[in-house]
Structures are given as C-alpha cells and as structure tokens.
A and B are shown apart, each in its own frame.
Chain A
Amino acid sequence: MKPSTRGEIVPTEGPPKGKCAIAIVGGGVMGLGIAYQLAKRGITDVVVLERGYLAQGASGRNGGGVRMQWATEQNVRLMQQSIALCASFAQEIGVNVWFRQGGYLFLAKHERERVTMERNVELQNRCGVPTRMMTPEEAGSLVPELDVSKIVCACYNPKDGVLFPWPFLWGYAHQALKRGVEVHLFTEVKAIARTGAGFTLTTSKGDVHAERVINAAGAWSPEIARMLGVTLPNKPHRHEILSTEPLKPFLTPMVSVLSSGLYFSQSMRGEIVTGITVEDHAEGIQLGSRLKFLQTLAREMVSLVPRFADLKILRQWAGPYDVSPDGHPILGEPPGVPGFYLACGFVGHGFMMAPIIAQVYAEWLAGGAKHEIFDRCRLARFAEGKLEKESMILG
C-alpha cells in the first residue's frame, strides 16, 4: 500500500494535557476549523474536546450546500468569503472536498413571494453576487425535469454550490494535529468552572485547565454554556434529510423551494440529497427519522419533479439545527464571562460559514483585528432587542 501522505497522525490518545491556552468544546467543523486557523497563526497550545466520533454532530449530517444567496448583507458578504475559501480548501488542507459550483436555483410557487425574491436578488447584486431572476421557462432550461407550471418565478446564482462535508473535518483535524494541537474524540466535557483567570474543564478523560474556552458545541452549546451560568437563547431543531440511489450526473444546481423549505441536489456520488421543513413537536435534541418527513418530502418532490417518482430512497437520517431567534449566530464573549467565547447559533448554515468564521475568530484570538461580526452577533443583542432577521432558511 502506498504510504499515506498523512503519515501516522491520528486523533490524540490518552487523557488531555493538564493545561492549555485554549480549550475548544466541540469537534465539529467550527471547533476544528478554529483550531486549524489558530495553529496556522502559531497558537498550538490548544485542546479540542469532542464527545463522539468525528462527524457525529451536525457537521456529519448536513447536505453540503454552500450559498451566497441570503436576505441580509452580513450573510451575503460572509458567504462570499467562505465560498472563496472552500474553492481553495483542497490545495490548502490537502483533502478533496468535491466542491462543485453548479449554483443554487430558488423557486417561488406563489406570486406573493416575487417581491421578496427580487429584493433579495437586488441586495445580493449590490454586494457583487451575480444572482439573476429567472422566468419559469428559464428555470426549466436549467433543470429540464421540473414541472415549471408549478412555479411563478425563480432566481439563480451560478457561483453557489455543494461540497462533501466530512473531509473538512478530517482535513482540519489532521492539519491541527500535525502542528501540535490535541484533538480528543470520545471525550465529554461534564463541567466547566472558573478558576482564577482561566477555566477548569472536567472531562470524561481527566481535567484540563485553559486560559480561554471556545464553545463550538452546536446544538449542545446551551448545555455547555449553562455549565458557566450562561443562558443561551438558541434551541435545537431536528431537520431530516435523505439520500437516494446513485445516478449518473444530470442535475446541475441545488434546487430549493422557499415556501416549503424543500431543497435537493446531486452529490459527487450521484445521489440526490434532499430535505424539507416538517413541523416537529419533539423536545430537546431528537435525531430519529419519521415517516411523516418521507411523506411530506415525497409529495412536494413528485409534484415538482414528476420524473423523480421512481427514484429510490436509500436512507434517511437527521441532524440538529442550532437555531438562534433571529437566524444569526451568537459570537464573542457573553457579558460577565470574559475568556469564554461563543461560536454557535448558526441554524442551517454553520457548515458553510465555518471556513470564514474560523478564520476571523482565530485572527481576533491571536491578537489581530476584531471583525465587526463579533459585535453585531453578540449575545447581548437579544436583551437589547436590536434584531434583523435572516429569512432565507432552508430545510
């Protein structure tokens, strides 16, 4: 066997080191991305604590969509940068992520959606994103399988795309490990206490004292914050997803219907990966699969794309959206707990934002510029009541 270009680097075995500069709770794309970006800047006295196997959380369960089409300028600009980072990821990190820019095609089924769609396109254009409005016929040229009689208008940005999420985690973890960062899997944080100027984290494999702590635990971030007496307003919300049999490539863009939250795209392996919004009364983090999801999705999908009726589903699963009340993440230090940094509340766009968020976070923590997003997305904004909602949420 040709030796791996990655040599013998494996997730850290044994207990975490007793002291470190920064402890990161959560080994998903956000935590590992920040660890990598810190290590790149010479900050390697870092310990990442992940309680499951790599990709057990939302980072391993999402559909891999990345888009610049958002309804708020903040998100549009952030995603422009993130997509640029995705496009060069394979070269920088040395792992293929199968990033394909086939675009995102949004469909409107009702005339009342047109105004909002046009306004969002105009906002995106102002930021330099080449989204354009499309007639149903134009949408039908791009995706011939669509029943265009069901739609009134559409918009399309050819620079949006899809990628395969898991390699991000392997790549970030490997690059961080290579530089001396500790990455512990199957290591649960059970308690965090303020000790002196820093924090002591009690884990299932021993204690760690850290000068600073980053909460990148996604849907589990409120649990982690509570350990320090911080109440977060984000709530977990189950989103189901399924993939079909592998087919020869035919579908160029990711297609989405805003009114139902339906999205579908074709992965590099040829599978159609798709999800839809389904009401959910389950409490807490619920990751089981429901027939109701399958039926809701099948009905909408077969109505929009009749030819998909014969497509065979191979498996359905679910992942937790970490939903913040205004659709924007919760970042920076909460009031009264300096040294504790939040990186959560990313709803359904945490993965796609991770590359840029990791970069700006590391920049700031390394003593560099503080991106304005850390002020804009401060936890205190909920108490202050100054909110601008992001409405283009899918799934």
Chain B
Amino acid sequence: MSTKAMICRCEDVTLADVQHTISLGYKSIEEVKRYTGLGTGPCEGKECMVHAGRLCALAHGGDESVVQPFTSRPPVQPAPLAIFARPDDGADE
C-alpha cells in the first residue's frame, strides 16, 4: 500500500524524499531541488517550492529568514521554440 505524501507532483517527489535529502545535510531549497528534482518539472516549482521552503525552515529551527527561493528562470511558463524562431525586424508597433 502506498504511503506517499506528495510534495512535487510533476516529479513525484515525496515528503520522505525531501526529509531524507535534508538529513543528508542539504538544507536549502536549491540543494533540495538538485538532489530530488523537485521544482524542475513542467510547473517549475509553483506547486512545490513553498512546501520545500517550510521544510527547510524547520531544518533551521523555524528560522524563515534563511529560506531563499531557487532562482527564477525564464520562461515562467512553458513556451514553444516556434515563437522565438523567426528573426525580428526590430520595429515598434
């Protein structure tokens, strides 16, 4: 019987996975992201990053001030190559 509490739905990262990662000494969101893949799926952390942040704050004795988001990368939503592929003529509308 599955007993998974899901933190990152896109990458199937569970609460146990995140807690395990923190127990290895990786206590920042950036490190948790790298070790578990959390936040690297199609939603890019919208559903999971804050949960990871709460767990990291707990790992620092409840100190929220040390919790940093992972760097926000373009694009904020998935976008097809097609819209970037045509050279632009640089004219204003």
Is there a direct interface between A and B, measured as CB atoms under 8 Å apart in the complex? Answer: yes
Q: In the bound complex, do residue B82 and residue A302 qualify as a contact, i.e. CB atoms below 8 Å apart?
A: yes
Contact with A along B42-84 (1 / 0, CB 8 A): 1010000000000000000000000000010111001111111
Q: With contacts A53-B31, A316-B74 known, is A4 near B82, CB below 8 A?
A: no
User: Nearest CB to that of A167 among chain B residues?
Assistant: B35
Chain B interface, >50% SS class: loop
Complex CA distance for A309 and B85, rounded to whole angstroms: 8
Total interface residues on A, CB under 8 Å, equals 38
User: Nearest CB to that of A313 among chain B residues?
Assistant: B79
Q: In the bound complex, do residue B80 and residue A6 qualify as a contact, i.e. CB atoms below 8 Å apart?
A: no
- Which residues 240-299 in A have Cβ within 8 Å of B in the complex? 245-246, 269, 289, 291, 294-295, 297-299
Complex CA distance for A11 and B83, rounded to whole angstroms: 44
Chain A interface, >50% SS class: mixed
Q: Which residues of A contact B34 (CB under 8 A)?
A: 53-55, 60, 166
What is the distance, in angstroms, from B17's C-beta to the closest C-beta of chain A? 9
Instruction: Give which listed residue, B35, B71, B82, B86, contacts A310 with CB less than 8 A.
Output: B82
Q: Answer whether residue B1 sits at the interface, using C-beta atoms and an 8 A cutoff.
A: no
Q: In the bound complex, do residue A311 and residue B80 qualify as a contact, i.e. CB atoms below 8 Å apart?
A: yes
Q: Answer whether residue A70 sits at the interface, using C-beta atoms and an 8 A cutoff.
A: no
User: Nearest CB to that of B29 among chain A residues?
Assistant: A53
Q: In the bound complex, do residue B74 and residue A245 qualify as a contact, i.e. CB atoms below 8 Å apart?
A: no
Complex CA distance for A314 and B72, rounded to whole angstroms: 11
Q: Which residues of A contact B19 (CB under 8 A)?
A: 1
Q: Answer whether residue A382 sits at the interface, using C-beta atoms and an 8 A cutoff.
A: no
Q: In the bound complex, do residue A4 and residue B24 qualify as a contact, i.e. CB atoms below 8 Å apart?
A: yes
Q: In the bound complex, do residue B75 and residue A315 qualify as a contact, i.e. CB atoms below 8 Å apart?
A: yes
Total interface residues on B, CB under 8 Å, equals 32
Instruction: Give which listed residue, A10, A13, A53, A314, contacts B78 with CB less than 8 A.
Output: A314
Q: In the bound complex, do residue A309 and residue B31 qualify as a contact, i.e. CB atoms below 8 Å apart?
A: no
- Which residues 27-47 in B have Cβ within 8 Å of A in the complex? 28, 30-31, 34-35, 37, 40-42, 44
Instruction: Give which listed residue, A53, A299, A312, contacts B86 with CB less than 8 A.
Output: A299
Interface core residue of B42, B80, B83 (most chain A CB under 10 Å): B80
Q: In the bound complex, do residue A245 and residue B42 qualify as a contact, i.e. CB atoms below 8 Å apart?
A: yes
A-B CB contacts (within 8 Å), total count: 94
Complex CA distance for A54 and B28, rounded to whole angstroms: 11
Interface core residue of B35, B84, B87 (most chain A CB under 10 Å): B84
Q: Which residues of A contact B71 (CB under 8 A)?
A: 317
Q: Which residues of A contact B28 (CB under 8 A)?
A: 53
What is the distance, in angstroms, from A242's C-beta to the closest C-beta of chain B? 9
Q: In the bound complex, do residue B44 and residue A1 qualify as a contact, i.e. CB atoms below 8 Å apart?
A: no
- Which residues 10-60 in A have Cβ within 8 Å of B in the complex? 10-11, 13, 53-56, 60
User: Nearest CB to that of B87 among chain A residues?
Assistant: A299
Complex CA distance for A327 and B71, rounded to whole angstroms: 31
Q: In the bound complex, do residue A312 and residue B80 qualify as a contact, i.e. CB atoms below 8 Å apart?
A: yes
What is the distance, in angstroms, from B57's C-beta to the closest C-beta of chain A? 17
Q: Answer whether residue A301 sits at the interface, using C-beta atoms and an 8 A cutoff.
A: yes
Q: Which residues of B contact A301 (CB under 8 A)?
A: 81, 85
Contact with A along B8-20 (1 / 0, CB 8 A): 0000000010011
Q: Answer whether residue A308 sits at the interface, using C-beta atoms and an 8 A cutoff.
A: yes
User: Nearest CB to that of A7 among chain B residues?
Assistant: B24
User: Nearest CB to that of A315 among chain B residues?
Assistant: B73
Q: In the bound complex, do residue B25 and residue A11 qualify as a contact, i.e. CB atoms below 8 Å apart?
A: yes
Complex CA distance for A317 and B20, rounded to whole angstroms: 27
Report 29 cross-chain contacts, Cβ distance below 8 Å, ordered by A residue.
A8-B23, A10-B24, A11-B25, A53-B26, A53-B31, A53-B34, A54-B34, A55-B34, A170-B35, A245-B78, A246-B42, A289-B73, A291-B84, A295-B87, A298-B82, A298-B84, A298-B85, A299-B84, A302-B82, A309-B82, A309-B85, A310-B81, A311-B80, A311-B81, A312-B78, A312-B81, A313-B78, A314-B75, A315-B74
Instruction: Give the 4 A-B CB pairs with smallest separation, nearest first.
Output: A10-B25, A298-B84, A312-B78, A315-B73
Q: Could you tell me which A residues sit within 8 Å of B by CB distance?
A: 1, 4, 6, 8-11, 13, 53-56, 60, 166, 170, 245-246, 269, 289, 291, 294-295, 297-299, 301-303, 308-317
Q: A166-B35, A289-B74, A309-B81 are in contact. List 16 more A-B contacts (CB 8 A).
A: A1-B20, A53-B34, A166-B34, A170-B35, A245-B78, A246-B42, A303-B85, A309-B82, A312-B78, A312-B80, A313-B80, A314-B41, A314-B75, A316-B73, A316-B74, A316-B75
